Structure 1
Amino acid sequence: MLEKAIEILKMPRLGILEQVKDLSIEQLNKIPAGFNNNIIWNLGHIIAAQQGVCYRRAGVETVVSADFMNTYGGGSKPDNFLGEDQLRLIKELYTSTLDQLIVDYNRNLFANYTAWTTRYGVNLTSIDDVLQFLPFHEGMHVGTIMAMKRLVLAP
C-alpha cells in the first residue's frame, strides 16, 4: 500500500512541475486578481502541508527547515519575491520528501500519531489515514496552480 500511495502523490507532483516549467520566476510569483497567493507558494505549500500532517502531527521533526515551514505552511502567504534558489529547492523536495517519507514510515517513525479532524471534516487517526487524505489536498492545490497559470499567461 505504501508504495502505491507514494506513487499517487509523486506522479501528479512531477506532472505539475512539468506544467509550470516554462513560466518565468516573475510569473510564478505573480498573485492573480482574486487570489492571496501565487504559483510558487502553492508549489511549496504542497510540501509543507505534507510535512506538517505527517511529521508534526506525529510529534516528529520535519525533514524541511523551520523557515520552509514558515514560508509555505498553513496560514502563511507570500510576503516577498521567491527566487530561482527557492524554485530549485522546491523541485528537489518534491520527490526527496516522499522518498524520505517511505524510509521514515518503514522505521515506524509515525507510531505516535495524534488524531485530528481536518477543516474538511475528515478525521485522521494514523499515518495511513493521512496517506489517503494527501492526494485530495494536493489535488486542490494543483487545480489552483492550473487556474493561476491561465491567469498569469493571459494578455
Structure 2
Amino acid sequence: MSYLKKQLKVTRSNLLKEIEGLSPEFTDIQPTGFNNTIHWHLGHVLTVAEKFLFGSPKSNNLPDNYGQLFGYGSKPSDWTGDVPSIETLKQQLQEQLDRILAIPEETYHDKVETPFMGMETVEDFISTVILHETNHIGQMHAMKLLIQSSN
C-alpha cells in the first residue's frame, strides 16, 4: 500500500474517532464563533472528497442534495428537506474510503480532464482531500472542546 493510501486511511480513521460517542444532538450544536456544526463538517468532508475524486453528483454515490447541504458556503441554518443522519454519513465515509483505496495506484500520475486550483493529477486530488480532511478534523476537535467546556 502506498504512503498516500496509508495517510488517507489514518486521516479518515482519525475523523471517525473524533466523533465516537457523540450524540446527534451534540453534533448539531453550533458554537459561538463557528459557521457550522460537527454534523455539517462530516457531510462537507464526504461531499468534497466525492466531488474531487469521483465527480459527484455524476458519480451517483451520494444523493444530489449533498452539494446544497454540505458544499462550499453552505450552512446548517439553511438546511431544508432530507438531511442525512450522523450514522448515515459515517457509513458513507467508510464506503467512500473503500472506493478511494480501490483507485489503482498506477493512475495516480495521470492528468485529470479538468485541472482545479493547481491540481492536475489524481495524486494531487487525493493529497488535497487528505489536507482538507485534516483541516476539518481540527475544526471539529476545537468545536467539541468548546461545546464540552460550556456544558
Deviations 1:110-135 (A, max 9, x none): 86531121xxxxx1012111112222
Match of 1:39 in 2: 38
Superposed displacement of residue 144, structure 1: 0.3
In structure 1, how many angstroms separate the alpha carbons of the residues matched to 2:68 and 2:61? 13
- Structure 2-normalised TM-score? 0.81
Secondary structure, aligned partner of 1:115 = strand
Match of 2:146 in 1: 151
Superposed displacement of residue 8, structure 1: 1.2
Contact 2:18 2:137 in 1 (8 A): no
Match of 2:9 in 1: 10
Secondary structure, aligned partner of 1:154 = helix
Match of 2:75 in 1: 77
- Structure 1-normalised TM-score? 0.79
Match of 1:115 in 2: 115
Secondary structure, aligned partner of 2:86 = helix
Aligned residues: percent identity?
Answer: 26
In structure 2, how many angstroms separate the alpha carbons of the residues matched to 1:98 and 1:129? 17
| Structural RMSD (CA) | 2.9
Secondary structure, aligned partner of 2:132 = helix
In structure 2, how many angstroms separate the alpha carbons of the residues matched to 1:80 and 1:34? 19
Contact 1:42 1:145 in 2 (8 A): yes
User: Structure 2 regions of 5+ residues with no counterpart?
Assistant: none
The partner residue of 1:134 within 113, 124, 129 is 129
Are 1:93 and 2:88 counterparts?
no
Superposed displacement of residue 70, structure 1: 2.2
How many pairs were matched up?
A: 146
Deviations 1:16-51 (A, max 9, x none): 322322222111001110111010110111111101
Letter in 1 for 2:144: K
Contact 1:25 1:83 in 2 (8 A): no
In structure 2, how many angstroms separate the alpha carbons of the residues matched to 1:40 and 1:82? 15
Are 1:19 and 2:27 counterparts?
no
User: Structure 1 regions of 5+ residues with no counterpart?
Assistant: 118-122
Match of 2:47 in 1: 48
Match of 1:120 in 2: none
Letter in 2 for 1:71: L
Secondary structure, aligned partner of 1:114 = strand
